[in-house]
Structure 1
Amino acid sequence: MRLLRSTDLALRVLMRLAVAGGSTPTTREVAEDMDVPYTHAAKVVADLTHRGLLTARRGRGGGLSLTEQGRTASVGALVRAYEGDGDVVDCEGATPCPLHTGCRLRGALRRAQEAFFAALDPVTVADVVSDPTGPLLLGLPTASRTPSADPPGERRP
């Protein structure tokens, strides 16, 4: 199973904010830290804010911070919310599978998908940033902690 980019980014944003300590990075700084386009990060941040997992304050002294609900959020519930509960394969789409009425594969894939979510259900955002991940996240060079020698819009090789 492969996660959508928005799912991956939502998890990484929450993880980044979970180790932010008292700092409140901006959406732009988080996007730079995660090496993703600002527009993608802004969309995910807006959704996470709507879900009550983080707060976003505008203006001077503003920035992003993780809420207690965000810290204790189930990774399984987050992945489910972003990925949806739909079937792994589309057996009845524009070109329906001729086996869809008697196929056992669809049910097996559905059970596997649910097992994947169930394995992530007890895991929280706080769990995934505990040692050794949290210190590794803190050790990464970030836009908010290190000046960049690269011109705006260019990426490092």
Structure 2
Amino acid sequence: MRINSFSDVSLRLLMVLCSAPEGELSTTRDLAEQVGTPYNHVSKAVLKLRQMGLVEAIRGRTGGVRISPAGKATTVGQVLRVLDDHQDAAECRTEMGECPLAHNCGLRGVLNHARESFYVSLDNVTIYSLARKTNDGPVPVMLSTTRPG
């Protein structure tokens, strides 16, 4: 399975926020730098994570973003279910239109079941458990889409 880039950025943000000292606020610009992602993308992710109740955003000159209690308890599977674009795993169209097997094909259902199994396998992994804690503050987290050689 492959997650979309928005989900990737959102998970990285949650891990960085979990690694911050308790109650510490981070600016969106600082977070963008820490996760190596453009500010606009991080801003959109923070907005969505706030709507999901996973982060708290405090406005103003001394404001910033921090992980919420719900964010500490949430699992990777729960986050991905909301953020994934939920398109069918199989492309059921051809250059000439709808796939001729669309009505008698079991592939779409099997692949969608596999995606749900992927999420279920991540339901036991909290974001908080993935964050690296140090005494020096946040640790930049880099997710890779390439396999180790």
TM-score range, shorter chain: 0.7 to 0.9
Change (3 A) 1:93 1:21: farther
Kindly indicate whether the alpha-carbon contact (under 8 Å) linking 2:21 and 2:138 is maintained by their aligned counterparts in 1: no
5+ residue gaps, structure 1: 142-157
Alignment of 1:1-157 (within 5 A): 1-22=1-22, 23-91=24-92, 95-129=97-131, 133-135=132-134, 138-140=138-140
Structure 1 residues 139, 67: CA separation in 2 closer, same or farther (over 3 Å shift)?
closer
Change (3 A) 1:123 1:39: same
TM normalised by structure 2 equals 0.82
* Structure showing greater relative contact order (alpha-carbon pairs closer than 8 Å, 6 or more residues apart): 2
21 and 125 in structure 1: CA distance in 2 versus 1, 3 angstrom threshold: same
Separation (CA, whole Å) in 2 of partners of 1:9 and 1:139: 15
Partner of 1:153 in structure 2?
A: none
CA distance in 2, matches of 1:51, 1:97: 36
Rounded Cα–Cα distance in structure 1 between residues aligned with 2:44 and 2:113 = 31
Unaligned runs of 5+ in 2: 142-149
Cα RMSD for the two superposed structures: 2.1
Q: How many residues are aligned here?
A: 137
Q: CA, structure 1 residues 140+7, in 2 after alignment: closer, same or farther (shift >3 Å)?
A: closer
* Bigger mean CA deviation after superposition, 2-11 or 90-99: 90-99
Q: Quote the offset at 1:64 in angstroms.
A: 0.8
TM-score, with length taken from structure 1: 0.78
